[in-house]
Amino acid sequence: MGIPYAQPPVGDLRFMAPQPVDPWDDTLTATKEKRACIQFNNDVKKGQSLGWYGVEDCLYLDVFTPAIDEKGRAVIMFIYNDHFLNSYNKTKDYAPDFFIEEDVVIVTISHRLSALGFLSLENEILPGNSGLKDIVEGLEWVRDNIEQFGGDSNRITLMGLQGGAAAVDLLIHTKAKDLFNGAILQSGTSWTSAYLQEKVRDRAFRLGEMMNITTSNDIKLLTDLQGIAAPDILSRDLHASPSDYFKETQKSVVAFGPIVEDHPNGLITEYPEHSTEKIDIPIMIGANSREGLESMLQYLIEPRYISFLKKDFPLLLPRRLKFQFNPLTDVYDEAAQEIRDLYFKDGKVTLKSVPDLITYIGDATTNYAVDYTARVYSERSLKPVYYYHFDYISKLNENKHNLMKHSSMEDGTWGTATGDEMCYLFRCPSLEKEYLKIEETEAEEKIIQKKMIKLWTNFAKYGNPTPDNDEVLAGLKWPSYTVESKEYLLIDSQMEVKKDLYKKRFNFWDQFIDKWEKLAVDGVISESGNKKDEL
């Protein structure tokens, strides 16, 4: 644990692309985890205090292996971040025991977050995407060294959750794609409106202004920001986005994240939707049934807050699009009403609308984009795409249970929250008593846990989650997704193949987008075509 894969990104290396680590001659003692990359903890679900933790010297990875030999095991490299703002506390949150039991090598990696990882001047001085380039540097280290840990450099699967899934998705479309052989995207995709935002150079200078740096010179801005304490920068980075950004663009607000680099040597040189290149790796992709639960926690704590949305309804486009609505026109209200008509009873936001809001936000931030990505990749890929939907509830749903400790209501809180699958795949130390209970009795959740880890590790080993003659899966066959069949695996108390996930809601968004994009002029919709048109 704690293996350096790049030089510490401090001093004049802050914000910059990672630099290769200096080699060492003696044996490196790597038995203790290094601290996470510096970030602000705003996750109160587990009872942790708000505040800063982590350090800038954080470019380390951990390798967990069943044995040091020449067996050549499948490798899974796991990446987790929440919209490139926060990460996790490594084995204190998610321990790799279940993967090790399945004879798979697990690699976890820390990468820079927020402005420290994604500040950009949109030029060769500071092109951006340093946090993603950290991951690529780590992948190169794994490719070159994993055989020394009993792994196979030709069987590396990248697995990501939330922003980590978006990172994996983006790397599929870059030169780094040759460094891995499979991809698992959990509750995330790069196709949502949160990523690959524009005019980030303006945000860099706005951040400088908030730090009392008044200059139009790129070098001075960069060097001055490199001299400011990291917490001071990160405490202001969200405010670098224009205050009206969300309503103006109908996009999620991520002040500093991945961008398209406007030069040929960049890591991300085009939007995934513009790519014509075929995908040549198998992909597993999916999401959970109540993805909107966590982001709507404030309304679970105090449902009366929803009354503010009656006048200021959050119109959020569910994937990156070529248009936006002019919020000062009636057409904005017309589009918002179409959304309310689908998701909210009688098309109105009331004090009883929190469950409807959770469903809407879950679709608009995650579910629709994941479904759309599965559709697109099933047609672009030369290899299978496996689509899942996780909806199983037990005491192992750590995130859901932590959320409910703070909720003042139960209505609308059915289903699985973002990340609820994690304690079936990783052994979560906070749930140790629950694991011991279910292991003693072979309870239903233990059976589900065994099947899930089999699906994930089979995918890493064979590129197929349900190969023939797997005793644990007992004949379960998970077909690849196609736009014709629309088959996905429902992970519930009974794992079964179903079709057309959320058909009515996803069809609505398809038709909504198709209808409105035809009316955009220079990317903005200010007038409705025929107001009598119906979806």
State pLDDT tens for residues 177-198.
Answer: 999 999 999 999 999 999 999 9
Q: How would you classify residue 201: left for phi > 0, otherwise alpha for psi between -120 and 50, otherwise beta?
A: alpha
Give which of 195, 190, 182 is closest to 384, Cα–Cα: 182
Question: Could you tell me the two tokens for 289?
Answer: 């049934």
Q: Mean pLDDT check: name the lowest of 28-37, 113-122, 483-492.
A: 28-37
- Global pTM reads 0.96
User: Are 119 and 59 contacting, i.e. CB atoms less than 8 angstroms apart?
Assistant: no
The pLDDT, as a whole number, for residue 28 is: 85
The pLDDT, as a whole number, for residue 525 is: 96
What is the average pLDDT across 113-136? 97
3-state helix, strand, coil in the chain (%, to 5): 40, 15, 45
What is the average pLDDT across 507-522? 97
In order of 409, 439, 461, the CA distances from 301 in angstroms are 8, 34, 43
Question: Could you tell me the two tokens for 328?
Answer: 């000062």
**Portion of the chain with pLDDT greater than 70, in percent:** 97
Residue 480 has pLDDT above 60, yes or no: yes
Q: Mean pLDDT check: name the lowest of 21-25, 49-53, 117-121, 332-336.
A: 49-53
Q: How would you class 50 by CB atoms within 10 Å of its CB: exposed for 0-12, middle for 13-18, buried for 19 or more?
A: exposed
Q: How would you class 309 by CB atoms within 10 Å of its CB: exposed for 0-12, middle for 13-18, buried for 19 or more?
A: middle
Instruction: Name the pLDDT band for 49 (thresholds 50, 70, 90).
Output: low
The pLDDT, as a whole number, for residue 225 is: 98
Element (H, E) at 182: strand 182-186
Domain boundaries, the chain: 3-243+255-287+368-394+418-503
| φ and ψ at residue 298, rounded to 5 degrees | -60, -30
Q: How would you class 431 by CB atoms within 10 Å of its CB: exposed for 0-12, middle for 13-18, buried for 19 or more?
A: middle
Which tens digit of pLDDT belongs to each residue from 384-416? 999 999 999 999 999 999 999 888 888 778 899
The pLDDT, as a whole number, for residue 237 is: 86
Q: How would you class 111 by CB atoms within 10 Å of its CB: exposed for 0-12, middle for 13-18, buried for 19 or more?
A: buried
What's at 163, amino acid-wise? G
Element (H, E) at 99: helix 97-101
CA-to-CA distance for 497 and 487, rounded, in angstroms? 6
Q: Is the domain 3-243+255-287+368-394+418-503 a CATH 3.40.50.1820 member?
A: yes
What is the average pLDDT across 369-374? 98
What is the average pLDDT across 162-174? 97
CA-to-CA distance for 228 and 351, rounded, in angstroms? 45
The pLDDT, as a whole number, for residue 535 is: 45
CA-to-CA distance for 211 and 52, rounded, in angstroms? 18
Instruction: Name the pLDDT band for 534 (thresholds 50, 70, 90).
Output: very low
Q: How many CB atoms lie within 10 A of CB 172?
A: 23
The pLDDT, as a whole number, for residue 98 is: 98
Question: Could you tell me the two tokens for 444?
Answer: 């239903």
The pLDDT, as a whole number, for residue 99 is: 98
The pLDDT, as a whole number, for residue 102 is: 98
Q: How would you class 236 by CB atoms within 10 Å of its CB: exposed for 0-12, middle for 13-18, buried for 19 or more?
A: middle
**3-class secondary structure, 39:** strand
Instruction: Name the pLDDT band for 48 (thresholds 50, 70, 90).
Output: low
The pLDDT, as a whole number, for residue 245 is: 83
Residue 510 has pLDDT above 90, yes or no: yes
The pLDDT, as a whole number, for residue 530 is: 58
Which tens digit of pLDDT belongs to each residue from 298-321? 999 999 999 999 889 999 999 999
Element (H, E) at 499: strand 496-499
In order of 183, 404, 422, the CA distances from 397 in angstroms are 24, 11, 8
Residue 50 has pLDDT above 90, yes or no: no
The pLDDT, as a whole number, for residue 42 is: 72
Residue of 267 and 33 predicted with greater confidence: 267
What is the average pLDDT across 345-366? 96
Element (H, E) at 507: helix 503-517
CA-to-CA distance for 397 and 401, rounded, in angstroms? 6
Rounded (10°) angle between helices 354-362 and 330-343: 110
The pLDDT, as a whole number, for residue 47 is: 58
